[in-house]
Each structure stands twice: as C-alpha cells, then as structure tokens.
Amino acid sequence: MTSLDPRFVAQQRVVGRVLVLALSTATMLVLLIVFAAADSLATWARLVLGVCWLAAVTIGAWAAERWPALDYAHTGYQLDDDGLQVRRGVLWQTVTHVPRSRVQHTDVSQGPLERRYGLGTLVVYTAGTDHARVALPGLAHEVARALRDELRAERVDDTV
C-alpha cells in the first residue's frame, strides 16, 4: 500500500494544536468562572480541579503531537485494476475496498490549511450504506487529482 503525503503529519499537528488550544481555553474559562462564583469551594478542591485540568491539557497536547505520526503510519491506499483500497485506523483497523465499477462520483477538496501544505482530500461515493462515502485525506493535491482521473480512466464497462 502507498503511504500518504508526509506533510499530512505536520498539517494534522497544526489541527491538533488548534483543537487543544481551543478546548483548553474554553475549559479554563469555565473553571475560572466556577472558581469566581463558588465562594464556598475549598482550596484543596480548587487545587484538585486545577491539577486535573493541567493533566488533561498535557495529555491532549502530547496526543496532538504524537497521534498524527501514528495515524500516518497506519494509513495507506492502493489503486489497482479491481478498485481502490483504503486502510485506516490505529487501534480499530479497517481496510475498505471499493470496486472500480461501483464508484458513483468523486470529490477532490481542499481546505485552507490543506492548501498551505499542498494537500487535498479524495472522496469516493458509492451507492452503499456504510461506505456510501469513502474519504482519503492527506494526499498531495496533485496525487488526489491523479488518483481520481486514474479511477475514472480504466473503468471496465462490461454489462451483466
């Protein structure tokens, strides 16, 4: 299987940092409001809450730095005559196999952050239920476009 673009790791780290920053700021504000409002809250309770918050933020920040590389190592794709295979998942690992002739339509999309890193997302749609939408993020944008064209080009069109 082919790996994703290595820039995906850097991009996902930025996403993680933004997420952790937003969440920690929000929870800190909530905590400060609670501290200000609840006068009767004992000092030890305040300390415990604060330490819990700090621990959660530290773990979150650590995960945001570590997880993208893990995720990258466990993600891959392969396009051959039969169709597109997408492997995803670190703990719960899934390989989704979409036969070439079952692709209904495709999307290649690019968000602002993806654009900065030259990345794109390929989305393949089928008429299925669980896999009505199979997304493959973290490709180089030109690779995503090339994959889409390739997926279309070699379509076998014999009828049953």
Residues 6+ apart with CB under 8 A from 46: 35
Residues 6+ apart with CB under 8 A from 119: 5, 7, 8, 11, 110, 137, 138, 139, 140, 141
Question: Contacting another protein (CB under 8 A), which of 36, 42, 44, 130?
Answer: 130
Which residues from 131-150 bind another protein, rule CB under 8 A?
131-132, 134, 145, 148
Output 38 or 113, the one with its CB closest to another protein. 113
> Which residue stretch of 16-24, 38-46, 49-57, 107-115 sits at the interface with another protein (rule: CB under 8 A)?
107-115
CA dihedral 66, 14, 73, 109 (to 10 degrees): 160
* AA letter at 145: R
Question: Contacting another protein (CB under 8 A), which of 13, 35, 102, 118?
Answer: 102
**Cα separation values, 68 from 100, 136, 149, Å:** 29, 15, 28
Q: To the nearest whole angstrom, how small is the minimum distance from the Cβ of residue 14 to another protein? A: 16
Q: To the nearest whole angstrom, how small is the minimum distance from the Cβ of residue 8 to another protein? A: 17
Q: Is 42 in the site for another protein (CB under 8 A)?
A: no
Output 36 or 105, the one with its CB closest to another protein. 105
Do the Cβ atoms of 127 and 102 come closer than 8 Å?
yes
Q: Which of 81, 80, 82, 77 is nearest to 135 (CA)?
A: 77
Residues that bind another protein (CB under 8 A): 81-83, 85, 91-102, 104-112, 115, 125-132, 134, 145, 148, 152, 156-160
